[in-house]
Structure 1
Amino acid sequence: MANGSRQAAWEFFGAELKRRRENAGITQVELGSRVFVSGGYIGQFEQAIRKPQLDVAQRIDEALQTDGIFERLWRKLIKEQPYTEYFAHVAELERLATEIYEYAPMVIPGLLQTPKYARAVFLASNPLAADEYIEELLMGRMERTRLLKDATRPVYWAVLHEAALRIPVGSPEVMAAQLDHIAALMRERKVLVQVLSSAAGAHPEMGKMIKLMEFEDAPPTVYTEGVLSGNLLDDPAVVKRVRSSYDLLRATALSGEASLALIESAAEDYRRCASTT
């Protein structure tokens, strides 16, 4: 499903939600209270600004007694997303975010990946998958990276642990090109990237990837990922705590200038390695 038709489908979801809510004679605030979200969120669902998670769609069906229509619509729309079920909503939120902050302990974040690096990541996770499946995953990943090329791109700030630079993904040529790509984005001032040196030792979020997203008209969210699972959190206390941890990571990381130098040095190391093989 193309982006335009997918958005139109979510707009239908929102319009149907509004129609059925109004027919039931309840306000956005009242429905929000019944499904454990704010009335503002219900308004954003109805305008297709935000997409509900599955459990919220299920609770809306219960509250409005709609015989599962919103769950079925949700499953249909998510199934046709080029992302895994647990990440599809995060990909939608990335497009709405005004600011995105990431910490990557082992792998270059998806928004910064080159096609060849991303393909190597997918192949490592799906060694027996058909080429068509890998290409489908790759198309979804590359669609996301266009976000940083748009004129209205969000502020993007990433902290990469040095391990993400040093762990080979694909060939040395792939790694060199990947690091060159990050360096180019930094020099073009499209992204802010810092490297957390291995010499820094222990730090607040060892081994945990973090994605913080802020929005113009909605509360900030935090996304973390585990094995074949993801957690999207918007509890203000949790977000505040994670933001504090992220600030500590940034304070511990190398400066932007030193980080760029390290990234370019690592790229050169990979090029030398490629020339000797």
Structure 2
Amino acid sequence: MANGSRQAAWEFFGTELRRHREEVGMTQAELGSRVFVSGAYIGQFEQAFRKPQLDISQRIDEVLQTDGIFERLCRKLIDDKRYADYFAQVVEFERTATRICEFAPTVVPGLLQTAAYAGAVTIAANPFVTDEYVEEKVAARLERAQILKDATRPEYWVVLHESVLRIPVGGPQAMAEQLDYIALLMRDRKVWLTVVPFAAGAYASIAGMLQLMEFDDAPPLAYTETAFSGTLIDDPAVVKRAQRTYDLLRVAALSPEASLTLIASAAEDFRRCVSTT
């Protein structure tokens, strides 16, 4: 489904939500209290500024007695088999974010991955899958990264741990190309990227994979991920803690200039490995 079609579908979700809410004479605040969100959130759902998570859609159906309408709409809109179920909604939020901040402790973030790197990561996690499966996952990842090429692209801030630069995902050639690509995006000012060096010590352990997203007309979100699941967080207090953690990581990182030098040096190290084999 194209981005415009998805947005139109979310707007339909919001219009239907407002219609059903008003039919039972319930205010946004009243509905919000019944489904455990604020009335302001209900307003944002109705205006398609924020996309409700599946569990909220299910509670809305229960309160408004809509026979599963909103659960089915939500499932249809986030049902993209190219992504894990827990990640599909994050992709939707990325498309409307005005600012995305990420910390990656071991693996290059998906929005920055080359095809070879993405393929190697996919095979490492799924060693018995078909070539067609790998190609589908890689294509989805590259398509997702198109937001960085749009005229309305979000500000994209990334903090990498130095481990990301040293782990030879896909082999030396693939890593050299991956690091060259990151350096190119930095030089083209598509991403503001810094590296937390090994010398920073304990800072590497204060967070796992972390993504923060900001929006024009909705509160910020945080997303964390492990190898087998991900958690989308909209609790303001928890998001604030995540933002503070990200700030600490940025303080521990090298300057952008020093980071670029380190990335270029790591790429050259991998190229030397290629030339000696």
Q: 1:48: how far off?
A: 2.8
What is aligned with 2:224?
Answer: 224
The TM-score normalised by the length of structure 1 is 0.94
Q: Which residue of 2 aligns with 1:133?
A: 133
Given that residues 160 and 195 in structure 1 are in contact (C-alpha distance below 8 angstroms), is that contact kept between their aligned partners in structure 2?
yes
One-letter amino acid of the counterpart of residue 135, structure 1: E
C-alpha distance in 2, partners of 1:81/1:25? 38
Corresponding position of 2:211: 211
What stretches of structure 1 of length at least 5 have no aligned partner?
Answer: none
Deviations 1:190-239 (Å, cap 9, x if unpaired)?
A: 11111111121111744611111111221111111123211111222222
Instruction: Give 2:59's aligned residue.
Output: 59
Instruction: Call closer, same or farther: CA 1:225–1:152 in 2, change over 3 Å.
Output: same
CA distance in 2, matches of 1:48, 1:132: 35
User: CA contact under 8 A between 1:204 and 1:248: conserved in structure 2?
Assistant: no
Matches within 5 A, 1:85-234: 85-203=85-203, 205-206=205-206, 208-234=208-234
In the alignment, the residues of structure 2 paired with residue 204 and residue 138 of structure 1 have an alpha-carbon distance, to the nearest angstrom, of 28
Matched to 1:210, the amino acid is L
Q: Structure 1 236/246 Cα, relative in aligned 2: closer, same or farther at 3 Å?
A: same
**Identical positions, percent:** 68
Aligned to 1:256: 256
Show the counterpart of 1:273.
Answer: 273
- Judge conservation of contact 2:97–2:213 (CA < 8 Å) in 1: yes
Match of 1:244 in 2: 244
Q: Are the counterparts in 2 of residues 96 and 215 from structure 1 also a CA contact under 8 Å?
A: yes
Q: Secondary structure at the match of 1:189?
A: coil
Quick one: structure 1 residues 112 and 85, their matched pair in 2 at CA, closer, same or farther if it must change by over 3 Å? same
**Residues 39 and 25 (structure 1), Cα distance of their counterparts in 2 relative to 1, 3 Å cut:** same
Contact 2:197–2:254 under 8 Å retained in 1:
yes
Counterpart of 1:17? 17
Contact 2:80–2:88 under 8 Å retained in 1 = no
Per the alignment, in what secondary structure is the counterpart of residue 218 of structure 2? coil
SS of the residue 2:202 aligns to: coil
Q: Deviations over 1:220-269 (max 9, x none)?
A: 11111123211111222222222222111111111111100000000111
- Deviation at residue 18 of structure 1 after TM alignment: 2.1
CA RMSD of the aligned region, Å?
1.7
Cα 1:215–1:31 shift into 2, 3 Å: same
Specify the SS of the correspondent of 2:107. Answer: coil
**Shift in Å, 1:12:** 2.8
Q: Is the 8 Å Cα contact of residues 32 and 42 (structure 1) preserved in structure 2?
A: yes
Partner in structure 1 of residue 26 of structure 2: 26
Q: Structure 2 vs 1, CA of residues 167 and 254 (structure 1 numbering), >3 Å: closer, same or farther? A: same
Q: Is the 8 A contact 2:105 2:204 kept in 1?
A: no
Secondary structure of the residue that 2:190 maps to in structure 1? coil
Aligned length: 277
Deviation readout 1:153-186 (Å, 9 max, x if unpaired): 1111111000001001102111111100110111
> Which residue does 1:84 correspond to in 2?
84
